[in-house]
Structure 1
Amino acid sequence: MKILKWVVIILIAIILLFAFVGMPYLKKQTKKISPERVATYVQDGLDMQVKYSGPYKKGRIIFGELVPFDAVWRTGANEPTTFTTKTNISILGNQVAPGTYSLWTIPGRESWTVMLNSEVPDWGVTLISGGKKTTYNPDTDVFQIQVPVETLEQSIERFTIDFQESEGLFLTLSWDKTRIRIPIKKQA
């Protein structure tokens, strides 16, 4: 009985050590490789921000290999990408109220599915899966939309999310030779 008590105490100590020392250390190390970035748009009565971690290409084949086709991607690295709006907006006819959401995608060869989700988990993937399985919960989607893939002539080394104005306002996601554009409109 005494041995069992010590085994339990040691296991609890190991779990606490990992939670309070190991995880913060791992997060800090991964952010050196894929630094945090922020894209903001404050103009014309709109106030939006995207926070994400931007990994680098480093000579790898990105879409179809590093990021598999037809599988949920946390859309960046580390924690899930977050999209915050302080104003009512519309994305392809879907109403989005002010708030912070997680942004997930399912990359495809010709189009991507983009999901805005009301849940923002602590980390974008499970540690048990070695980073292969996301923590995405489809039951809390605000919407899912399809957007076409654009092939770029020049390769983009670092995964980049930005707001661009070109015949309207778009949230753009670019990496390697792939770009998608998500149209955003202000709601009255």
Structure 2
Amino acid sequence: MRTFGNAYFLLALILCCDLLVGQNKEPYTASYIMEWGNKDTIGIETFTLYKNQIYGKAVHGFPENYVRHFDIKYDTVNGSIRELNFLYNDVANTSLSIDSKTGFLPYRFYAKLNDGLLDFKSLQKGSKENDSGLTRIVHQTDGYHFNGDWIPIIAQFEWLVSWFLEQDKEKIGGLKFINAYVGLYDLQLERINKKHIRFWSNISESIELYLNDDGRIENIDGIGSVWNLNIHRVDPVDIEHYTDRFKDRPTIGDPSPYETISATIAGAAIEIDYGRPSIRGRKIFGNIIPYGEIWRTGAGAATTISFDKDIVFGDQKVKAGKYNVYSLPTEDTFTLILNSNLDAWGSVHLPEFDVARVSMKLSKTSKKSDKFTIEVIEMGKKGMLRLSWENTISEISFTLNN
């Protein structure tokens, strides 16, 4: 009798697990093409989703050309990632570990969640876990639902959509987005309609997920988000057939390299650090940078400005110190925002820390600026802060608060 009892218990457990995974009961395989805002194909991914696991392969062209093998296991109850494993391989020979030309990519990246501690390990080529090539990052959290990277693993969106639909709710908040090197951020999913789900995190602008009749992702609109990607589903493809397209591409590296500018205006020392994105064939304002939404005024980590004396921007006094720089562009106006929350990642703006919001003079020019450029210009006892990108110039004068 005990044998039959154990068998019935096992059968009940299997049926219960199948009910929990619902739509993921049968293996589902799909491929996606990832295009940057200028329609440049920057990645192709093929994955299989089965029960609480996704696994697959992707070829990526950013920050350099490589193939990534991935395997992610999930908790079917709360939708969070339990274990994650990425292998980064040479695009010319996908059996070999990558020898990163940019230095940005490891050969292996993996993470495991245990008792409220999320343990990330990153291994450089040729290293072992007891070598200096190991980077270990630990975060305290009960769970996380999305792992950010240079290019995201698209299968993560598919898992979250499948799990979200099973919850039968209009919105689920309290989820977590993580970039191991940057930190944990809030994440929520919201049902806009039957075929439209919004993915939102306070490290990125919203990403729109559009579904087909079967509840699978058909398209993803991430233009204006931290990744700036358009993504669409195609019939499953063998990634190995596409690696030749990537192996001879120039290495991109950091597309928005950081720059520091310094100036002395009427005895005040001013310094600005910022990432400098390029147009790369895209329409910028009103597209990549949506009108009416806060922009980080650069790329990557937050743009910062520091000055060692009190300054007056327009008619607003700002005490000496260091501030994050944001802006609010519209078709007709450009507002400069200085914010004291220096711990925030570039795309994370918390308005309660704003110390100044001032209108800048907005003008158009026929001469395009390919790279986003910030200048501090001396004008006698005054200074001018100028932002230039595409065919837009924004300026504001400032003086010392004597």
* Partner residue of 2:386 out of 160, 168, 172: 172
2:297 aligned residue:
75
2:247 aligned residue:
none
Give a deviation string over 1:103-146, Cα, whole Å, max 9, x none: 10011111111111111234223xxxxxxxxx101111111112
Distance 2:265 2:356 in 1: 24
2:137 aligned residue:
20
2:175 aligned residue:
none
Distance 1:60 1:10 in 2: 38
Name structure 2 gaps, 5 residues minimum.
1-81, 84-110, 123-135, 139-178, 183-250
What secondary structure sits across from 2:137 in the alignment?
helix
TM-score, with structure 2 as normaliser: 0.39
Distance 1:30 1:20 in 2: 26
What secondary structure sits across from 2:373 in the alignment?
strand
1:65 aligned residue:
287
* 1:27-176 equivalence runs, <5 A: 32-125=254-347, 135-166=348-379, 168-176=382-390
Distance 1:183 1:30 in 2: 36
Indicate the structure with greater helix content: 1
Residue identity in the other structure for 2:300: N
Indicate the structure with greater strand content: 2
TM-score, with structure 1 as normaliser: 0.80
Whether the 8 Å CA contact 2:265–2:378 is kept in 1: the answer is: no
Residue identity in the other structure for 1:180: S
Distance 2:379 2:112 in 1: 59
More relative contact order, 1 or 2 (CA 8 Å, 6+ apart)? 1
Whether the 8 Å CA contact 2:265–2:383 is kept in 1: the answer is: no
Residue identity in the other structure for 1:185: T
Distance 2:379 2:366 in 1: 18
Distance 1:51 1:91 in 2: 19
Whether the 8 Å CA contact 1:80–1:121 is kept in 2: the answer is: no
Give a deviation string over 1:143-174, Cα, whole Å, max 9, x none: 11122311012000000001123584211110
2:113 aligned residue:
11
1:131 aligned residue:
none
Distance 2:359 2:378 in 1: 20
1:129 aligned residue:
none
Name structure 1 gaps, 5 residues minimum.
1-6, 126-134
Q: Deviation of residue 30 (structure 1)?
A: 9.3
What secondary structure sits across from 1:105 in the alignment?
strand
